[in-house]
Amino acid sequence: MTTDLRGPDDLASDLEKTASVVATALRLVNDGRAVDLAALEGKVAVLCKAIAALPRDQGRRFLDPLDSLIRGLDLLEEALRLRFDRLLDAMGEGAPDRATVLAPIAPPPGGAAPVLVDPHQAVPRKAVRAYDRIPSLPPMTAEPAPFEEPAEESSEDPPAADPTTAEDR
């Protein structure tokens, strides 16, 4: 995907590719595998900016694909949160082993098999939800230590080294 988008057809293709990346990432996370999502936020931002720059009549055709992408991102966020919660639980019980951390997500209660939901059929959620869940840093609970200037060097010269050498002794 490039940042040099030329028109609606390019956007449609890139939007489809991004939705595919999200669906693949969701499948990998649910299978307990590691996923690199470093470029995903940038791709989504470029797409949204390009679609917003289109004339209204051209941009409307992207409402449903964008809604599906948002649903897929919500599902991915939820799967990552479950994995993170599992890691925190394992850390509370001692040092987690790799198998515990990367194990596939457990089936839901009642013995039903886990189902990978197609982002196109997911329950709609607000897009901002994924960003609102990022925990903020807690406020400082103690005052910072006051800044102290380094001690000034004394005007007295340090004691001179003994001019005698080992041979003189």
Give the model's pLDDT for residue 92. Answer: 72
Give the model's pLDDT for residue 86. Answer: 81
* Cα Rg, the chain, nearest whole Å: 28
Q: How far apart are CA 119 and CA 26, in angstroms?
A: 10
Contact 79, 22 (CB under 8 A): no
Contact 82, 103 (CB under 8 A): no
Amino acid at 2: T
Structure tokens at 29: 């996370």
The low-confidence residues of the chain, meaning pLDDT below 70, are: 1-6, 93-169
For residues 136-163, one letter each, b for 16 or more C-beta atoms within 10 angstroms of the residue's C-beta and e for the rest, the string is: eeeeeeeeeeeeeeeeeeeeeeeeeeee
Give the model's pLDDT for residue 133. Answer: 47
Sign of CA dihedral 78, 80, 83, 88: negative
DSSP state of 44: H
- pLDDT tens readout for residues 140-165: 455 555 666 666 665 565 555 556 66
3-state SS, residue 66: helix
The Cβ-side half-sphere exposure at 51, using a 13 Å CA radius, reads 20
Give the model's pLDDT for residue 90. Answer: 73
Give the model's pLDDT for residue 84. Answer: 84
- pLDDT tens readout for residues 117-142: 444 444 444 444 444 444 444 444 55
Instruction: Give residue for tokens 């917003």.
Output: 52
